[in-house]
Structure 1
Amino acid sequence: MRSRPLVSLTLAAVVLAGCSSPEPPRPGVLSVGLGEPGTLLPADATDPSSRLVTAALWTPLADYDPATGKVTPRAAASIDSPDRVVWTVKLRPGAKFHDGTAVTAQSYADTWQAIAGNHWASTPLLTKSLRAKEITAVDANQLRIVLDRPSNQVPAWLSAPGLVPLPASVLKSKDWNGFARRPVGNGPFRLDGDWRPGSGGTLVRVAPDSGRANEIDLRVGDPAKQYDEVKDGTLDVATSVPGERHEAMHADFADRHAMWALPQAGYLVFPATATRFATPAVRHAFALGTDRDALESGPLAHQADPAKSLLPPAAAPGERSGPCRPCTFDAPAAKSLLGQAGFAGEATVSYDSFDGTWPQALAAGLSKSLGISVTAQRKESGGQPIGPSTLELKALSASPADVLRSLAEAAGYTDPGFTDDLDSAESTASPEEAAQLFRVAENEALRDLPAVPVWIGHGHAVWSARVHDAVATPFSGIDLAKLRD
């Protein structure tokens, strides 16, 4: 009889434990899963996680829609030029960094000088793309940019997320590593405390908005685990989806998932020094012998799409109605072309900036479709590639001029018609005419094929039922400033 109270107490404890529930989410606070950012220095941010965070901490001069060419001023009030050589950027007055100091035209001029002097990801954008002879602060709210030739691409370049301003304190100290731990931007969110590697950080909205999330809990972790946490309701947003969850994503989240084009593409480039590939028929054979679908579902693990053109969607303008002929897989035609060209012997695919898995698979696939020996070889630092090479092109400005010029430079491609059309596309005042000329230049390059488009990167995200207004852009992925619960 004495044991009955003990049994009753034990059962009560079990029942109480079973009724416990997680703490309900706080209104206006969302949790977002991401990978470890490579850096929080915006001028050097290239991976999706870095761009996700820096896009929340900084406001660019403008937003650029590569599909339409439309420019929407953000930190800038206007970006204008009477002749496409001399450009005037007027800033919105009263802007401040998160430390309370003013954002001025000099902030941009000094930051761009620092970028040009360092080997950061955005350095080529200033030194090769913009090609400015002069960048000066006319007054506190006005920048003057003088180019060495006419270009209508300036608004697109200035919208690049890497060309945002840095505070005078870090420009003076040059403590880039310290700044990356606790960045100070001019954007909608500030970082509350230091960034915690392997863990994450907390973003707090600078000007509270009752209609949007005012606090973002950023959690670094494994993509597969984060995907499951969103399903379970313990995480609000996962900003990447691993390959093994790709097919399930559509059923698991219905209309609560997104895919978007990244400003990143993989190409097989034929260097001018690779004389065995000088015949267009040989280059087209390698293009037709590339099984992009097999790469997408295999080593690329659904993190990319098969390329349909030289210009990726994030570089536009517009999209092709269907894949270009060199973008299709046709093994019999590829083998026939190679035979007609009298190509025999071995070929080497050289790579350096990629994980070797997909280049090795690409080489194996080419060997099978072309009937020759094709091997993949990592290029040593500073070494000259032998045969075809792979190139990772980061079109951070989403400018078609950058993509086409970069590929032509990598391949040593100097066709006069291509160059003239590209120059005309950059210098015309009409966005519609520019779009047409960029496509003409692209088609000329596809005819001669100095580079074979292989894949176009894309991003994924999934979110819980309590999340609304989850939209993505090519530069930053999910726009954290627009999220609401």
Structure 2
Amino acid sequence: MTMRLCLLAPLVVAVLVTAGCTESGESPAPDVLRVGMSAPMSTNPADVRDQAGRLATGALWTPLADYDPATGKPTARAAESISSTDRTTWTVKLKEGGKFHDGTPVTAQSYVDTWKVVSQESWAGSRVLKDLVRAKEITAPDPLTIRLVLDRPSGQIPALLSSPALVPLPASALTSRDWIRFFSSPIGNGPFRMDGGWQPTGAKLVRVADAPGKARVLELKIGDPAALYDDVKSGKLDLSTVVPGDRHEAMHTDFAQRHVMWALPSVSYLGFPLTAGYFSDATIRHGFALGIDRAALEAGVLAKQVDPAKSLLPPAVAPGERSSTCRPCTFDAEAGKSLLAQAEFPAGSAVPFGQSQANWLRPLAEQASTAVGVRLAADPGKGPFALDLNLSTPSPQEVLAKIVEATGYQSDGFADLLKSAEETESTDSGEVYRLVENQLLRDLPVAPLWSGHGHAVWAERAGDVKATSFGSVDLSAVSVR
């Protein structure tokens, strides 16, 4: 079984080829940045599930805030402030002068109306929108103020509101609801506007306000990762946000000081059925977790696009980092065999693994079965399953809720502990979330596997390349020379 947080958007951008990119290697205009990327699965910020989609929507929209999961601190973007005195009633103050690319003002009512409309759409599978709907009251007392009244205290609202899924849409889009047309030529509130819309031959973004030293025009090229990588090396492109696995090691020498890697808001687990069969025993679950060689899978079927897990919560949402790798995250075949023997796992038993479209599940099943000395079932049945999560918010609450939903995990005191973590101020919640994580690592309804990471390489002409988990590379900050 594969769990996903997002549904397909009405528009899937399958092939986008840059209009105006200089294929011959000729020098572009001084204010043009040529960017290579993979094809976005969606250009809808409420349904973004891949790095390319985050790159495009991050240029076209500005979220209310950026959020640092390591510290729990938001940094204001479209918002001037996000505050609460009781963690039940929250006030968001917007910066003055915000406008959509069509010239209409961005007001508090823009956000209220967008959230109401988008949350009703069938493609709005985002957890952050569903959580927002449960608020008792979402109003705009004045043009620059959003008021949220929750049904229970939550210290995670700054993380929730920093989600790219909560950016505003103009009234024209909300009225027509012609989403295919709108997301073909989106109108956002971000640093770049679309020039001409997505065309069969490509797309171009133009900066809204002057920014000396930064790119005025973005030319985006969708292509094969290896070809894009080579184009940056040869000077045909200035930046690429995809690096194939076979160039992963070369990246460090080809672009010694001109590459960056960052955590992506995607995480994978091996889920266990808890109510029936052998896997109702936590000792057996731990035994199989120790039989997973994550590094071998990373180098193989996963093509070096992930980081092996060190903890249950991924870096993109973790409130601080663990000082060491969690025990169920390590590969120790002999210890795994010992735990299965201790739990009296029946000798010669076949281990069924749940069916899934995840390309890693069967290689993992075969590897783990060999490591701990059991036989893989010929016909996958009800057994360990793939749990792939693409996150819409940097709050740990989203990860934990999906784990509970997928596995049916229950334990004495767990619900109260999770509630306490949610209610705690985000800047102080790290310690409580570690307690939640430690209980899950002890009972192990899921085995942590890995989280995704992004790559970018750039030519000498570009500089100031930075990336965030939920925004990909910040194209508005990239300098050109």
Calculate the TM-score normalised by the size of structure 2. 0.91
Structure 2 contact 409–445 (Cα < 8 Å) conserved:
yes
Aligned match of 1:306: 308
Measure how far apart 1:353 and its partner are. Answer: 5.2
Structure 1 unaligned blocks of 5 or more: 1-20, 379-384
Stretch deviating more after TM superposition (253-262 or 136-145): 136-145
Aligned match of 1:149: 152
Structure 1 contact 62–75 (Cα < 8 Å) conserved:
yes
CA deviations 1:126-167 (Å, max 9, x no partner) are 224773122122222211111111110001011011110011
CA distance in 2: counterparts of 1:30 and 1:213, whole angstroms: 6
Aligned match of 2:418: 422
Find out whether 1:279 has 2:281 as its counterpart.
yes
Aligned match of 1:163: 166
CA distance in 1: counterparts of 2:364 and 2:399, whole angstroms: 22
Structure 1 contact 46–121 (Cα < 8 Å) conserved:
no
Q: Residue 117 and residue 272 in structure 1: after superposition, are their counterparts in 2 closer, same or farther (change >3 A)?
A: farther
Count of residue correspondences: 455
Structure 1 contact 34–239 (Cα < 8 Å) conserved:
yes
What is the aligned counterpart of 1:319 among 321, 324, 335? 321
Aligned match of 1:468: 463
Structure 1 contact 33–221 (Cα < 8 Å) conserved:
yes
Give the SS at the match of 1:24: coil
CA distance in 1: counterparts of 2:157 and 2:312, whole angstroms: 22
Aligned AA (1:409)? E
Structure 1 contact 61–75 (Cα < 8 Å) conserved:
yes
CA distance in 1: counterparts of 2:379 and 2:322, whole angstroms: 33
Structure 1 moving runs of 4+ over 4 Å: 375-378
CA deviations 1:428-447 (Å, max 9, x no partner) are 24723x11000111011101
CA distance in 1: counterparts of 2:321 and 2:432, whole angstroms: 14
The aligned runs of 1:8-27 (5 Å cut-off) are 22-27=25-30
Aligned match of 2:84: 81
Aligned AA (1:304)? V
CA distance in 2: counterparts of 1:396 and 1:474, whole angstroms: 11
Structure 1 contact 268–388 (Cα < 8 Å) conserved:
yes
Aligned match of 2:71: 68
Calculate the TM-score normalised by the size of structure 1. 0.90
Measure how far apart 1:211 and its partner are. Answer: 2.3
The aligned runs of 1:247-262 (5 Å cut-off) are 247-262=249-264
Give the SS at the match of 2:136: strand
Structure 1 contact 107–167 (Cα < 8 Å) conserved:
yes
CA deviations 1:258-310 (Å, max 9, x no partner) are 11110101101113344421111011011101110111000000000111111
CA deviations 1:47-95 (Å, max 9, x no partner) are 1101100000000001100011111111111111111111111111221
Aligned match of 2:38: 35
Aligned match of 1:189: 192
Aligned match of 2:21: none
Aligned match of 1:437: 432
Aligned match of 1:403: 399
CA distance in 2: counterparts of 1:377 and 1:266, whole angstroms: 23
CA deviations 1:375-408 (Å, max 9, x no partner) are 5978xxxxxx711111111222111121122212
Aligned match of 1:224: 226
Structure 2 unaligned blocks of 5 or more: 1-23
Q: Residue 22 and residue 462 in structure 1: after superposition, are their counterparts in 2 closer, same or farther (change >3 A)?
A: closer
What is the aligned counterpart of 1:392 among 380, 388, 394? 388
Aligned AA (1:349)? F
Measure how far apart 1:424 and its partner are. Answer: 1.3
Greater helix percent: which structure? 1
Q: Residue 126 and residue 377 in structure 1: after superposition, are their counterparts in 2 closer, same or farther (change >3 A)?
A: farther
RMSD over aligned Cα atoms: 1.7
Aligned match of 2:20: none
Measure how far apart 1:172 and its partner are. Answer: 0.8
Give the SS at the match of 1:132: coil
